[in-house]
Every structure is written in structure tokens, then in C-alpha cells.
Amino acid sequence: MTLLRIRTLPDPVLRQKAAAVAVVDAAIVQLLDDMLETMYPNQGAGLAAPQVGVSKRVVVIDVNDPPDPAHALQMVNPEILSASTELYTHNEGCLSVPDQFAPVSRPKRIRVKYLDRHGKEQILDAEDLLSICIQHEIDHLDGKVFVDHLSPLKRRMLMKRYDKRTHPRDETL
Ligand SMILES: [Zn+2]
């Protein structure tokens, strides 16, 4: 078990398109375990491999309240098959953009296909928070971050707050 370092903006790995996993082998299973191990103490509801510096299409999610490691989702090569036109708005945050939150609207329901930790194909119908969380994590696999969904003005305001937090000394320069 290994605690992995969480990458934050502007780390370039967060802007890369992650590679599909060819085979769910022992290394991928280990990655899934390490990502879960890393997600819980950071109080994340989801984590995508690029967020720990690994540009592969792997995500873990736990939107249970309270968190329930026995029922965490572990997805390899997740792919959205269909999405509702009805939207759901959630105040999103991200371990890669610490302490910043903003409402984002995304399809309320999705059908997603993925490989589980045994390499078996699964199809899942997700709604509300789970749907939002899966979409947020798949965005990471495509080099996208939730702030990309905001209007240019709101994104600028959020990133200004974020930069101040990351480089507080700049204020005195
Ligand atoms: Zn995120």
C-alpha cells in the first residue's frame, strides 16, 4: 500500500489525455488499491490516475455517505454510452484544485461502460451525485478539470483566488 502524491494545477499531467489500459494486470490492480488508499485520507469522493501523476484511464469513486471502501467503484477505461438531457447541478470541488468550489451542471443520468478490477466489462446506470462524479473523473482522463465548465469570467475569478492561495507571496510583489 502506497500513499500517492496528489498533483494540483498547473501540473501538466492534468492536461494530458490519458492512455487506455490494454490489460487489467497486477500493476493496474495495485494502482487501483493505491488510489483508494490515497483518496480516503484526502477526503475525496473520486480520484483519477492523472491526479496521482499516472496518465492512464483508471478512476476510483466513493460517493457513499459515510464512505464505504467495500463498495467503492473501481473503473478502468470508463466510457459514457449515453447521457440524459436533464441536468443536475452540484457544487463541485477537486483535490487537484484545493479549496475551490463552483456549481457545475452536467447530465443527471448516464450509462457508463468500464472494466472492473478483474478485467470484466460492466455497465452501470448512474444518477445524481454518482453520475456527476463519474463525469468529473472521466474529464480528468481527457485532460479536463471542472473549472473548464465555468464561464470565462467565473473561471478567471476562481483561478485568481486559487493562485493567491498557491502563491500567497505574490501579493506583496
Ligand atoms: Zn477532480
List pLDDT tens digits, range 35-46.
999 999 999 999
Q: Output the CA 146–ligand 1 centroid distance in Å.
A: 7
Q: Output the CA 40–ligand 1 centroid distance in Å.
A: 14
Q: Calculate Rg over the CA atoms of the chain.
A: 16
pTM (2 decimals)?
A: 0.94
End-to-end CA distance of the chain: 42
pLDDT tens-digit readout, 30-76: 999 999 999 999 999 999 999 999 999 999 999 999 999 999 999 99
Of 37, 79, 137, 171, the catalytic one is 137
Distance CA 151, CA 110 (A): 24
CA distance to 75, 101, 120, 145, 170, per residue, from 163 (Å) = 32, 14, 42, 16, 9
User: Does position 131 have pLDDT exceeding 90, yes or no?
Assistant: yes
Which residues contact residue 10 at a Cβ distance below 8 angstroms, ignoring those fewer than 6 apart? Answer: none
Q: Is 117 in contact with 103 (CB distance < 8 Å)?
A: no
Which residues contact residue 146 at a Cβ distance below 8 angstroms, ignoring those fewer than 6 apart? Answer: 92, 93, 94, 97, 102, 104, 136, 139
- Catalytic, 79? Answer no
